[in-house]
Amino acid sequence: MKLQEGVDLHFIPTDQFTTNRIKIRFAAPMDPNRIAGRVLAANLLEIANQDFPTAQALRKKLAALYGARLSTTVAKRGRTHFVDVTVSYVNAQHLPNREDVTPQILDLLYSCLYNPLVKGAAFDTDFFEVEQKNLLSFLEAEVEDNYYHADVELNKLFFQEEALQIPRVGRFDLVAKETAQTVYQALQNMLKLDKIDIFIVGQVEVDTIVKGFERFSFTHRNPKLELEYHQDYSKITREKVERKAARQSILELGYSVDVLYNDVNYPALMVFNGLFGGFSHSKLFMNVREKESLAYTIGSQLTIFSGMMKVYAGIDGKNRLKTMKLINQQLLDIKKGKVTEEEILLTKNMLIHSARLAQDRPSNLLEQAYNQAVLGERYLTWQEWIEAVNQVSIDDLVRVAHLVRLQAVYFMEGVDK
């Protein structure tokens, strides 16, 4: 349902859950100069506003709404940055006298978005500085997390565009530049310029929701979003080695994957990733970790909307070359069809089991609805996805394995302090 050009309302009716969930998703192009402001704005929205000017007051209001929960999160997909504002609350069927608190929930969302804790055209300075300091401390702590650091460094090597290199929560230097004024402007841009999708999961009165959001007075907007990103493969493999005080070393490999969502090779790529490093029976886990004892931990992760597959491994520094050689051997074996029917069947079963479990999570139903909205005819229902996975053959795996090519190598050598 279109509330305004660029503002859409999606109803996901279900009686699976005792709670309803409302998520407002703000989507804008990834801009290195705007990510930090959006993240800070998201953090500030969930803490207090003019109607509930302290964290304690807001928590008290949520408790009065039978324990409703309000949260904000940020994410990125392709060249797009998301800010999600989510509230979950008990639906009327499970409350005394079947009281419907949906109107109060919508009032609370309005307060968060349109009555933030501001003075003039800026967030309250003291309020802002506390949250900026908290985010800077968080980013400092994340840098000390060696796997997070390795992920950031691998993205710098792999992606050619700066916007794709920046973490979803921004960088320390970008956050430090923000002010109470710039973050307030970031919020105004979100409300006026972002593509907005509103999802309602559960049992609600449609008229109540529509009437409640009419108060938000959304205006026309038409941002150009790129939810999928694929860069051309380069024959030059970019590498970086650095040393950090750590008990173990970390090896991360970034592979270019020339496959789009729901193209002919997509189901095979999902099975390939599961067989290569996605599950505990995978070739990386069984051969690199279990058989050769070269890794404390190892696996692969696929980011289909960014055209990247990552292999991560925690190892002893002296085993770097041997580990890389053995990882490459697992890929070569799949390219040569050295895969058993039993391995393929087990991988398919685990993928399908995971997909079925996901149907019991409101967040998954919401993401399915979003994918359907943005992908249109390209969208695969989970039943269609299961059918496609079941049809994958060894020949399909061999074909897709040849589309997986090494593009970046990051190695953090752990050394004694």
Are 256 and 194 in the same domain? no
For residue 227, is it within any domain? no
Long-range contacts of 274-277 (CB under 8 A, 24+ apart): 274/347, 274/350, 274/351, 275/334, 275/339, 275/343, 275/344, 275/347, 275/397, 276/300, 276/330, 276/331, 276/334, 277/301, 277/311, 277/330
Are 139 and 257 in the same domain? no
> Given 180, 214, 248, which residue is the final one in a domain?
214
Are 209 and 311 in the same domain? no
Are 99 and 168 in the same domain? yes
Tokens 């024959």 label which residue?
235
Whole-model pTM? 0.94
Are 138 and 252 in the same domain? no
Are 207 and 250 in the same domain? no
Strand partners for 241: 411
Q: Cα-atom radius of gyration of the chain, to the nearest Å? A: 23
For residue 397, is it within any domain? yes
pLDDT of residue 161: 92
Per-residue pLDDT of the chain (417 residues; tens, 9 = 90+): 999 999 999 999 999 999 999 999 999 999 999 999 999 999 999 999 999 999 999 999 999 999 999 999 999 999 999 999 999 999 998 888 899 999 999 999 999 999 999 999 999 999 999 999 999 999 988 778 899 999 999 999 999 999 999 999 999 999 999 999 999 999 999 999 999 999 999 999 999 999 999 999 899 999 999 999 999 999 999 999 999 988 899 999 999 999 989 899 999 999 999 999 999 999 999 999 999 999 999 999 999 999 999 999 999 999 999 999 999 999 999 999 999 999 999 999 999 999 888 888 999 999 999 999 999 888 998 889 999 999 999 999 999 999 999 999 999 999 986
pLDDT of residue 382: 86
For residue 210, is it within any domain? yes
DSSP labels for 15-45? SS-SEEEEEEEEEEE--TTTHHHHHHHHHHH
Are 260 and 409 in the same domain? yes
For residue 65, is it within any domain? yes
Residues 6+ positions from 298 with CB-CB distance below 8 Å: 277, 284, 285, 288, 289, 311, 312, 313, 314
Are 53 and 175 in the same domain? yes
Are 182 and 244 in the same domain? no
Longest Cα–Cα distance of the chain, Å, equals: 67
**399, two tokens:** 């074909």
Are 85 and 156 in the same domain? yes
**111, two tokens:** 């307060």
Domain range holding 15? 2-214
pLDDT of residue 77: 95
Are 321 and 372 in the same domain? yes
Provide the residue type at 282 as one letter: S
| Number of structural domains found in the chain | 2
* CATH for 125: 3.30.830.10
For residue 304, is it within any domain? yes
Are 181 and 291 in the same domain? no
pLDDT of residue 358: 86
Tell how far CA 56 is from the center of its chain: 29
For residue 223, is it within any domain? no
3-state secondary structure of 406: strand
Provide the residue type at 320 as one letter: R
Strand partners for 9: 198
pLDDT of residue 416: 82
For residue 272, is it within any domain? yes
Tell me the C-alpha distance between 282 and 293, whole Å: 15
pLDDT of residue 96: 86
Tell me the C-alpha distance between 145 and 240, whole Å: 18
For residue 399, is it within any domain? yes
